[in-house]
Amino acid sequence: MEKRVVFRSPWLPYLLVFPQIVITVVFFFLPAGQALWQSMLQQDAFGINLDFVGAENFVTLWNDPNYIESFQVTAVFAIGVTVVGLSVALLLAYFADRVVRAATGYKTLLIWPYAVAPAVAGVLWMFMFNPTLGVVSYALRKVGVDWNYLLDSNQALALVVLAAAWKQVSYNFLFFLAGLQSIPKSLIEAAAIDGAGPWKRFWSIVFPLLSPTTFFLLVINVVYAFFDTFAIIDAVTHGGPFNSTNTLVYKVFHDGFRGMDIGGSAAQSVVLMVIVIALTVVQFRFVERKVQY
């Protein structure tokens, strides 16, 4: 029998959700509406007059080869951050769940990186991989790897992917660990008694039961890669070299605050918002079908 909550006052449910509605309107709908309006305006070189140009800013974007290139960079970057972040976090959570002695210490150390600010994380990785002073770059040269992310586009993209994924691993680790701990141990023991090895038990029992957690983290990591990695890219590469790390969100900042193209930057933010919403809808529409609740 389904239990339903009944409020004595018909206004109480609306009163309870009113704070959340206010926050959503103020911090989402109003900025989104303002960005949409600014995307139809064009500012003169002196920043004095604003002219309504309609969809001209969007037409200019699609004719800009640098903007089209930023789509490819963002796709590679988002896929790399999501795959690396989820894979490493799942591996760490799986082994941390098996640790018996000093388990709390291991889990605490693995959670710490999430407390590091994105800009600080970017600076840390920049110093470690600095071509002149970096400890890691020194070790790479010792084994014959010519490391210089300031000149090599592929190395720069790989570096920001690793830095962004490292920052997100702790967040993913927490959810994967909670998901693993919620799986009944009796299922694992029964599979072991039936002769299933560790690999078979993981893919046949553990991973399918983790599919709701994995799906949730997939959505979160895609949004993170599109929006929350700006500080890391700005601290490590500034979008270079040769625009190889100039993602969509960084290009919004670069064109808007450095190039002073407010209309074009607003148009880019609208396109970015539409892309992220579309990706989220696609994930919920198609990927969620494979989730076993």
pLDDT (0 to 100) of residue 274: 87
Q: Which one, of 125, 130, 214, lies nearest residue 165 by Cα?
A: 125
pLDDT at 10 over 60: yes
The answer, yes or no, to whether residue 288 has pLDDT greater than 70, is no
Look at residue 290 in the predicted model and tell me its pLDDT.
61
pLDDT at 76 over 90: yes
pLDDT tens sequence across 94-103: 888 876 677 7
> Which stretches of the chain are DSSP H helices?
12-24, 30-38, 56-62, 65-98, 103-111, 118-128, 135-142, 153-181, 185-193, 198-201, 207-209, 211-227, 230-236, 248-253, 262-285
Q: How many CA atoms lie within 13 A of 91 on its CB side?
A: 7
* pLDDT tens by residue, 273-286: 888 888 888 877 77
Q: 172-186 pLDDT, tens per residue? A: 999 998 888 888 888
Domains in the chain: ranges and CATH: 66-290 (1.10.3720.10)
What pLDDT is stored for residue 293 in this prediction?
Answer: 53
CB within 8 Å of 78: residues ≥ 6 apart: 222, 225, 226
Answer whether residue 1 shows pLDDT above 70. no
Closest C-alpha to 164, from 106, 227, 219: 227
Q: Name the DSSP letter for residue 25.
A: I
- pLDDT at 100 (0 to 100): 62
- Euclidean distance between CA atoms 255 and 264, whole angstroms: 7
DSSP 3-state of 102: coil
Are the C-beta atoms of 246 and 15 separated by less than 8 Å?
no
pLDDT digits (tens, 9 = 90+) for 25-56: 998 889 888 888 888 888 766 666 777 787 88
Residues of the chain with pLDDT > 90: what percent? 28
- The CA dihedral of 42, 46, 48, 49, to the nearest 10 degrees, is -40
Out of 1-10, 67-76, 104-113, the most confident range is: 67-76
Terminus-to-terminus CA distance in the chain, angstroms? 21
Distance CA 267, CA 59 (A): 10
Cα–Cα separations (whole angstroms), residue 132 to 2, 206, 234:
66, 45, 20
pLDDT digits over 227-245, tens only? Answer: 889 999 999 998 888 888 9
- pLDDT number for residue 287: 65
Average pLDDT, the chain: 85
- The C-alpha atoms of residue 156 and residue 19 are separated, in whole angstroms, by 43
Quick one: pLDDT at residue 45? 61
Cβ-based neighbours of 276, under 8 Å, separated by 6 or more: 222, 223, 226, 227
